Amino acid sequence: MKISFLIHNAYAIGGTVATTFNLAGALAERHDVEIVSVLRNRERPSLTPHPRVRLRALVDLRHEKDHPLHGRPAKVFPAAEYRHGQYSELTDRRLGAYLEAIDADVVVGTRPGLNVHLALQAPDRVIRVGQEHLTLDNHHAGLRTVLRRAYRRLDLITTVTQADAESYRRKMRLPGVRVEALPNSVPDPTLPAADGSGRIVIAAGRLVPVKRYDLIIDAFARVVAEHPDWQLRIYGRGEEKGRLRTRIETLGLWNNVFLMGAATPMEAEWVKGSIGVSASDFEPFGMTIVEAMRCGLPVVSTDCPYGPGEIIKDGEDGRLVPAGDTAAFGAALLGLVRDDGRRRRMGGAALGNARRFAPAPVVARAEALFREAVEARSGGGRGAPAHSGLAHTLRTGGHAARDLARAAATSALRTVRKGRR
């Protein structure tokens, strides 16, 4: 198959970029794969794509930031989508031209606004896959209204958890559109797994409020009071750095808690530790949890919606505690710090259980879903006759598609404005 991934900005760094590169690279072992980045803002991507994966951009902001069309608001990309301000009439046109000329068997969108472009503009000859990297409930009501209308024209929607797949089926009610869970994958480790002897707890990710690093620091203070030889290392960058540093100093933890900055790749850092931690209030999946487990670390995590509970088996390969509960988090962490044998056993279980998120099983699942969608289309199932009129209108540049996109965006904008009153 020829598979094309459509992504916001492949030259930036983030969870969606990492997971897209991971899946594209694994698929490229047996398929013709490209990543199409709507935007480009630097010479080289922050992450390195697989050598067999082609990477190209539609709008190069290094040279086209002041393009006249880039100063006009997007009409196809939904107004209620978080990234709408970064899209424009220029991106609308480039996306439309890319989709009109696409020769892939499968095209995969990686965020709601791009999935709307696929639904409204991709031709019937292509299998249209909309990926959800957050959750349905994470989206504003106005955006969900737009998605409910546009997503009827997709062939397949994938979510990163079973819980969110069920939410899509129950709440969106999209007849004829298949909704399935497809978890993120983490590359196979290249270093020996952690042996559980390092007296280091590790957290990683963006330093933003929802990740609750403040809770981790407060809980770790209980560990230091009993085991002053243990360290907490926090990897990442973000807006919370100053506040977290102040919290560390206020609690007198400057010899035990360290803000390490960003590290890429993280594998070499994970294997130095003995316990991974995640205290998010909301986590669509939990890539860092899987990364830690794949390096042999048991993980203490909040049992927040949606991902951690589908990754960690409480008491077997990690611990799950109520979101926002500092005392419970500290107690679970201390339980592993105090018991070397239990920590090592759970680390071994984590290493084994996390293999289900290795590239091989995840790419096999993706291949099966894509192949079944192609076969259903070629067999006269979901697809061509139902949308041929829309596809023809889009290909010939008629007004119906633009009117539909404009109406969807206007409806979403009205909903957003109404909610602000």
Domain boundaries, position 283:
200-357
- The answer to whether residues 92 and 237 belong to one domain is no
Contact 145, 412 (CB under 8 A): yes
Residues of the chain whose pLDDT is less than 70? 380-421
- Looking at 321, 339, 357, the residue that finishes a domain is 357
Owner of token pair 């709408």: 84
Number of domains in the chain: 2
Q: What is the domain-level CATH number for residue 99? A: 3.40.50.2000
The CA angle 143-149-153, to the nearest 5 degrees, is 120
In a domain, 216, yes or no: yes
In a domain, 284, yes or no: yes
In a domain, 195, yes or no: no
Residue 381: per-residue pLDDT: 60
- The answer to whether residues 58 and 179 belong to one domain is yes
In a domain, 192, yes or no: no
- The answer to whether residues 73 and 41 belong to one domain is yes
In a domain, 276, yes or no: yes
Residue 254: per-residue pLDDT: 96
Residue by residue, DSSP assigns 246-310 as: HHHHHTT-TTTEEEEE--SS-HHHHTT-SEEEE--S-BSS-HHHHHHHHTT--EEEE--TBTHHH
**What share of residues in the chain are helix, strand, coil (percent, to 5)?**
50, 15, 35
Residue 396: per-residue pLDDT: 30
- The answer to whether residues 162 and 292 belong to one domain is no
Amino acid at 401: A
In a domain, 55, yes or no: yes
- The answer to whether residues 94 and 180 belong to one domain is yes
In a domain, 193, yes or no: no
φ, ψ of residue 74 to 5 degrees: the values are: -70, 145
| Global pTM value | 0.84
Q: What is the pLDDT of residues 160-193, one digit of tens each?
A: 999 999 999 999 999 999 999 999 998 899 999 9
Distance between CA atoms of 125 and 368, rounded to whole angstroms?
Answer: 19
Total Cβ atoms within 10 A of residue 246: 11
Q: How far is CA 243 from CA 233, 246, 250, in A?
A: 16, 5, 10
In a domain, 397, yes or no: yes
Owner of token pair 């969608």: 373
14, with CB counted inside 10 A (0-12, 13-18, 19+), is middle
- The answer to whether residues 100 and 42 belong to one domain is yes
Distance between CA atoms of 92 and 76, rounded to whole angstroms?
Answer: 6
Residue 414: per-residue pLDDT: 39
- The answer to whether residues 298 and 161 belong to one domain is no
- Which residue in 86, 139, 173, 130 sits closest to 284, CA to CA? 139
Residue 265: per-residue pLDDT: 85
